[in-house]
Amino acid sequence: MATILVVEDEEKIGRFLELELVHEGYRVMKAVTGREGLEKAESGQADLMVLDVMLPELNGFEVLRRLRKTSDMPVIMLTARDEVMDKVAGLDGGADDYMTKPFAIEELLARIRLALKKRAGTAAAADKNLLSCGALTLDAARYEVRYDGKLVELTHREFELLRVLLENKNIVISRDTLLEKVCGYDYMGETNVIDVYVRYLRSKLDDVYGIRLIQTVRGVGYCIKDGQ
C-alpha cells in the first residue's frame, strides 16, 4: 500500500486526515512545518504528499518549488482560501491537484487514488520503454543506448537487433526470427546479415567495454544473458 505524507500544521485537520487515510489502508507520515515536510518528502519514503499552503517556516508553494528540483512525486495542495491565484500558483508550481478547504474527505481520497494510479501508469510505461542488461540500457522512447551512462551510437538495424535481444533476455533467438524481426518479413538480402550486425554490435560494445554481451549459440542463434 502507498505511503502518504500529510503536511498540515492544524492539528485537528492533520489528525482527521491521518485517521481517514489509515482507514483506507495507506501508511501515513506527518509533518507540521514546511521545512519538516520538505525533508520528509525528499527522503523518498512517501509516494504522494498532501500539502497545506499556509504553513510555518516555509509555505506550501515554497516547499513545492524546492521539492520539484529533485522529485516529481505527486502533490495535492490544500488551500484554505478560495482564491484563483492560489490555485494557479499551485498548479504552475508543479502541483498535480489542489483542494480548497473545507473539503469533502471522499473527494480528497478520490483525488489521491487518481494521482497514484496516474503515477503507476507512467512508471509502467517508462519501464516498458527501458530495457537493460548490466550497465547497458536501451531507451526505446528516446532511441538511445547507453553503457555506464555513456551514449553508444548505433545504426537503425543495430539498435533494432539489440532491442529484440534485450526484449527476449535469457532466451536464445534463432537467426531466422532475428532476421524477420530486424529486417522484416519481406527481406530478400543476404541471410548472414544478422551475423554481420552482431559483429558490428560487438565492435561497438564488447570490444570497447571489455564485455561479452551477445552470446553465440552454435547452430541456433544469439542470446543476451543477465550477468554478462
Residues that bind Ca ion in the complex, under the rule CB under 5 A: 9, 52, 54
Min CB(92)–Ca ion separation in Å:
20
Residue 35 CB, nearest approach to Ca ion (Å)? 14
The smaller minimum CB distance to Ca ion, of residues 9 and 180, is found at: 9
Strands 130-133 and 136-139 turn out to be: antiparallel
At a CB cut-off of 8 Å and minimum separation 6, what does 90 contact? Answer: 53, 60, 61, 64, 77, 79, 98
Torsion angles phi and psi, residue 156, rounded to 5: -55, -50
- In terms of Cα–Cα distance, which of 26, 16, 66, 22 is closest to 46? 26
147 and 136 Cβ atoms separated by less than 8 Å: yes
Q: How far is the CB of 4 from Ca ion (least distance, A)?
A: 17
CB-wise, 83 or 207, nearer to Ca ion? 83
* Least spacing, CB of residue 33 vs Ca ion, in Å: 10
CA distance to 151, 154, 183, 187, per residue, from 200 (Å): 16, 9, 16, 19
Closest to Ca ion by CB, 101 or 202: 101
Cβ distance to Ca ion smaller for residue 55 or 178: 55
